[in-house]
Structure 1
């Protein structure tokens, strides 16, 4: 099953289980976001990726440091509370399960492609994913969406959606540790060792994601 098939199933489940008024609010908010064309402000293929520092396995490293070892795939996701993000992460975990969880050797280049999974939520929620789901992906906590802002991916939830998220247990002030109610558009970037973005997938519609299999071809 492709990731897109799984995401379609989640949409169908939500349509059957979530109250109509909440679905309508989600739909209206999403349409407004898409109409604003936030993708136009985001980095795209051909751009140079901004450097940034991160806590990588307890060590302070930069993107430049990682690129010395080969290409890097960066996946921006919203958080544990998002079922579409969880489906995407589970798909990546399955694909990387026979590797060390953070990189894979790709033929014919024989370069180790490193995968980073970045969200604005606090590190404790990434730890929970690793403990509860047995994930061994390389998670990075992007405090205040600092990295996502460099890629031009950040937007703010409207007041109505903020209230709905809180009501259904997705209190972003708790997950992310601030009251900005900002999120990154889900996006996937492939960055070559020179720092150039060679592939970029981003969509204001959080129910649409890149097919992970493409990075293993």
Structure 2
């Protein structure tokens, strides 16, 4: 029963990986036609083929009970799992640091003369803050060149949140979602590694008994 469930789990998981890899290739070709970003497309296609390779290895190992395929699969999956786990721990422990760093760097950019001297960039930045419904960094309507032109930022009887506070709240919510998704991927990768090792051991034992 455990053997059958392990084969089914590994087969389904790696079939999904193959589908995801194919979808990435199709998406990258679509994006190339739309944006002509060759460097990004090449990177995505390389990633897609790597995912396809891992998925095919795992699927062959599970369906054919190939010890060789399962062993190579484990060699690739084990370091990926360790990397995912390391990133997950760093994201969780340093989440506030990441959020503060992003907001502080964006504040420096918004208040810099490089942006404020460029009317086109000022207009684009102003539009983004209108969508965010916020008014100013650290204090209301700072920098004034951007926020004084936003109507709701100049209404006395209405208060809007500061943009740094709004960004921190939004980033915190998004980062929590990223951490949850990352935790699920780490769990699946760990489980795939364990199941592949289990199937490889069973296959090795069956081969040994057959020789006797």
* Higher CA-based Rg: 2
TM-score relative to the length of structure 2 = 0.20
* Higher strand residue share: 1
TM-score relative to the length of structure 1 = 0.19
Higher relative contact order (CA 8 A, sep 6+): 1
* Higher helix residue share: 2
